Amino acid sequence: MKIIKPKKLKKGDVIGVISPASSPSDLEKIEKGVKYLESLGYRVEVGNNVGKIHGYLAGTDEERLEDLHSMFKNKNVKAIFNVRGGYGSGRLLDKINFGLIKRNPKIFVGYSDITALQLAFLKKTGLVTFAGPMVAVDFSQDKVDPFMEENFWKIITTSKKIGKLNNPNEERFYTLTKGRGEGKLVGGNLALLISLMGTDYQPDFKDSVLLIEDIGEDPYRVDRMFYQLKYAKVFNKVKGIILGRFVDCYIKDKSQPSLSLNDVIADYLADLKVPVIYNVKHGHIKENLTIPWGLKTKVNTSRCFIEITESAVT
């Protein structure tokens, strides 16, 4: 699949806001996020169905899909930002008009449950999307994290090569295996990635660099997801592995015997013949490094760097 890059965002452009997964418990967070975007000089158009609640979903499948399609159809909208993750994006995949998205490539931003949409877009259209800040999560804070903010806006507003990724405060990456690898960057939230395995929306792992993160999964659940990747021969196909943050993925009940998260990671990844790098500030954290899916990426664990060798936007 040929990669399609969206056009860079300029001040005064319209940002569309949609909620394809869950609604925030406090709808004022959406307003705060919108005000933040407007304060930077962007215009904002909120989807007609944003703020609706249907059980654990932000409206029915039809309502959430309608907002997704209408934002891609709308010629005035130059970027689409998601309200939050939660649950529900994966329910839309078999109803999406991928031809519409391919004909109208736009900046598309989110993470967590939004991973399902991003991987499906990449597989079906080649569109580069961004695992980055969300309106009612990261942009609704009283103080938006400066590291996340600077990194994010730089990636979507300039057509220069992204170059080497860096953690905040020059915090270093760590390596589990030695080596060098290069491939297209794929991945996202591990649980969502696993949910797409064996479907038409599963990424092409051949010659890729896999980046994964997660939240709230006990070590045994991470273990189960890793053995699925192993048995699907994903680890044999990739050119490198990047581990983002695994937040709250520790043993909750200390009275029960358990492997640690580090034990699980070492069991599956320590003997691989590809570079594995970890402690990358990406995931469910404030200092979230924005990751563009689909771009050529180098991983060098001998010299401990990750480099995206092209721009994400045109």
| Residues tagged active-site | 112, 213, 284
Q: What is the CA radius of gyration of the chain?
A: 19
Report which of 88, 113, 290 is spatially closest to residue 192, judged by C-alpha positions.
113
Strand-strand pairing, 43-46 and 240-247: unpaired
CA dist 77 and 185 (Å) reads: 26
Write down the residue that tokens 């215009």 correspond to. Answer: 43
Looking at the chain, list the stretches that DSSP marks H as alpha helix, in order from N- to C-terminal side. Answer: 28-39, 61-73, 98-103, 115-125, 146-157, 190-195, 219-231, 234-237, 261-269
Tally the C-alpha atoms within 13 A of residue 232's C-alpha that lie toward its C-beta: 20
DSSP assignment string, 33-61: HHHHHHHTT-EEEE-TTTT--BTTBSS-H
Tally Cβ neighbours within 10 Å of residue 165.
19
CB within 8 Å of 2: residues ≥ 6 apart? 126
CA dist 5 and 299 (Å) reads: 22
